[in-house]
Structure 1
Amino acid sequence: MRLKAVREANGLSQRELAKRAGVTNSSISMIEQGQVSPSVQSLEKVLAGLPMSLSYFFSCGVENNSDSFFFREQMSKHDKPYGFMQLVAEKLTQRRVTLKRFVFEPGKDTGDSPLTSFFDQAGCVFQGEIIMSAGQQVRTLVPGDCFYLRAYTPFRARNSSATETAEIMVSSAAGE
């Protein structure tokens, strides 16, 4: 059943996966229906047609595709001194990517103490004007401007407008 979910999530028919993997259509069908339990080597051969590692196959969580979309009205807001932050897929187990939406009220900032992260982060300004400090560098960023922060780099962000909110999205490769 997991194989069927992975195959369908990748938009492949049984025939296409069989062709890519160099096995018969009936082999794919019997595995998906639970009629046979493939050996590790056979399963690796089938997964090479995706391509996907064995470890990822058993940990990818494709069975529940209802966890693919997160609408801002449904995500919890974490109040912050500058406004609020929302974490995409906050309750999703085994999340491998973190995406945060920060909304800064007019004139507000992240506070007196710089923030840091255990992971590299990349971000982009989507609304407003943000004054960003990273280490010793300070830049004014406008919509479309982006930044990259190495792990443990101290940073601060401030909405320079007295009347408009500002919004940035920040992503890192691991959950935090």
Structure 2
Amino acid sequence: MAHSSQAVALGRRLKEIREANGLSQRELAKRAGVTNSSISMIEQGQVSPSVQSLEKVLGGIPMSLSHFFASVDGSAGDVFFNQHNMFKHEKPYGFMQVVGENLPTRKATLKHFYFDPQTDTGETPLMSPFDQSGWVSQGDIQMTIGAQIKELAPGEAFYLAAYTPCRLKNLSEFNSAQIIVATEVSPAL
């Protein structure tokens, strides 16, 4: 039986979505109220389901037809992160975690800086080639930018232009401090 390229692409996409949602063919079939063989034949590109049939199958995930076709290339990759799949970089002041650091096409970075009590980033100022914005989520941070020194409390924030040197210090003797920093990343040249 000849498989059309559209049926094969549709089947491949359904399989990606099913697996990304942790469903077996049997579980999806049960949820959608169709047979296992129907799911198998669609995923193998052996049949091209009608709009109504595909909508019924997607109802078992649940996912709308528009969402299914809007992301048909399947290139989303990792989109959710937790303590186990974020990179953790040990630092002299504590550690830093980066969301999506291993994604080759990322255009933004979200960093979580964790400062142990009375630690700082060191004598050598930190500097980024990108603009950055940050928000203190826990503790009191002393931030030095050039000749300016400012103490930031939880809920306070900052914005740094590219190549602005800065130093960060946790002022507490007993408590940790945390900062969330967002950075836009330019595409590789």
Same fold (TM over 0.5): yes
Distance change in 2, residues 1:159/1:93 (3 Å): same
Partner of 2:5: none
Taking only aligned residues, the RMSD between alpha carbons, in angstroms, comes to: 2.8
Letter paired with 1:72? Q
Aligned equivalent of 2:160: 149
Cα 1:154/1:93, change in 2 over 3 Å: same
> 3-state SS of the aligned residue for 2:87?
coil
Deviation at 1:61, TM superposition (A): 9.8
Mapped contact 2:87–2:99 kept (Cα < 8 A): no
In structure 2, C-alpha distance between the alignment counterparts of 1:140 and 1:78, rounded to whole Å? 25
1:63–1:147 CA distance, 2 compared to 1 (3 A): same
Q: Which residue of 2 aligns with 1:37?
A: none
Aligned sequence identity (%): 46
Q: Please, which of 87, 90, 103 is the counterpart of residue 114 of structure 2? A: 103
Deviations 1:55-104 (A, max 9, x none): xx9xx996144511111233221010100001100111210001111000
2:112 aligned counterpart, secondary structure: strand
Unmatched 5+ stretches in structure 2: 1-8, 14-47, 49-69
- Find the counterpart in structure 2 of residue 84 from structure 1: 95
TM-score (norm 1): 0.63
* 1:73 equivalent in structure 2: 84
Q: Which has the larger radius of gyration?
A: 2
Alpha-carbon distance between aligned partners in 2 of 1:65 and 1:132, rounded to the nearest angstrom: 36
Structure 1 CA distance, aligned partners of 2:72 and 2:101? 15
Matched, 1:115 2:126: yes
Partner Cα distance (1:62, 1:140) in 2: 47
Q: Trace 1:7-86 onto structure 2 (pairs within 5 A).
A: 63-86=74-97
- Is 1:168 aligned to 2:179, yes or no? yes
Count of aligned pairs: 124
Paired amino acid for 1:106:
P
Determine the C-alpha separation between the residues in 1 that align with 2:75 and 2:108. 17
Rounded Cα–Cα distance in structure 1 between residues aligned with 2:114 and 2:179: 7
Deviations 1:101-129 (A, max 9, x none): 10000000001111111011000000011
Pair 1:153–1:112, CA change in 2 (3 A): same
- Normalised to the residue count of structure 2, the TM-score between the two structures is 0.59
Matched, 1:133 2:140: no
Q: Distance in 2 between matches of 1:144 and 1:172?
A: 18
User: Structure 1's 174 and 107: CA in aligned 2 closer, same or farther, altered over 3 A?
Assistant: same
Q: Which runs of 4+ in 1 moved over 6 A?
A: none
**Unmatched runs of 5 consecutive residues or more in structure 1:** 6-32, 34-56
